[in-house]
Structure 1
């Protein structure tokens, strides 16, 4: 799904100075909008660029992005921590875990 439109109530529908908005589905399948395109051609060009990027992306990469997009910060931190280079568990590892659990997750949310 993709579309472009102009949100205004002007009596002059042609040559209206209001910007165009585009609507499309992102990699997760959620509907997104981008606004601020001066002409229809600018909006169409951006839609074309978005869909060209989607077509170029390999299916495995798209699936990985979908999975990462659905993870919470806490889940990502738990998965990433063991993949990091070997840390000295009694100091650096504890400090990283503490920072994530005490500072990052409460501020960003789960």
Structure 2
């Protein structure tokens, strides 16, 4: 794996980096990647950002979305994300029947 260049942002925002072996990574053509925790607390990565500013803008957007999510919605998303497909289907099917009645 390449050299890992990263600069940490405000606590909880995540980080951006280039995973390449270039002598001057900040000036090479390789894209930036970002690493962050989603609303469910799972670590995620996205790549393809051409500049540091693009990467920081996306991290800022994700952080703002996470901060403005109502706590009850965040808890519901976390719980939903931990269900197996079978468990979700067991909850989903009865709701569909009520909707069609």
Q: TM-score of the superposition, structure 2-length normalised? A: 0.79
Q: Give 1 or 2: higher strand fraction.
A: 2
Candidates 86, 89, 100, aligned match of 1:77: 89
Of residues 38-47 and 25-34 in structure 1, the stretch that sits farther from structure 2 once superposed is 25-34
Q: 1:85 to 1:36 in 2, by over 3 A?
A: same
Map Cα deviations across residues 19-38 of structure 1 (whole Å, 9 max, x no partner). Answer: 00100011221111101100
Say what the alpha-carbon RMSD is for the aligned residues. Answer: 1.6
Structure 2 match to 1:97:
none
Displacement of 1:5 in angstroms is: 0.6
Work out which of the two has the higher radius of gyration on C-alpha atoms and give 1 or 2: 1
**Number of aligned positions between the proteins:** 88
Cα distance in 1 for partners of 2:95, 2:23 equals 60
Q: Give 1 or 2: higher helix fraction.
A: 1
User: Segments of 4+ in structure 1 off by > 3 A?
Assistant: 85-88
Structure 2 match to 1:39:
51
Displacement of 1:48 in angstroms is: 0.1
Q: TM-score of the superposition, structure 1-length normalised? A: 0.73
Cα distance in 1 for partners of 2:95, 2:26 equals 57
Cα distance in 2 for partners of 1:24, 1:55 equals 13
Q: 1:66 to 1:14 in 2, by over 3 A?
A: closer
Candidates 16, 38, 58, aligned match of 2:70: 58
Displacement of 1:85 in angstroms is: 3.2
Q: Does 1:20 align with 2:29?
A: no
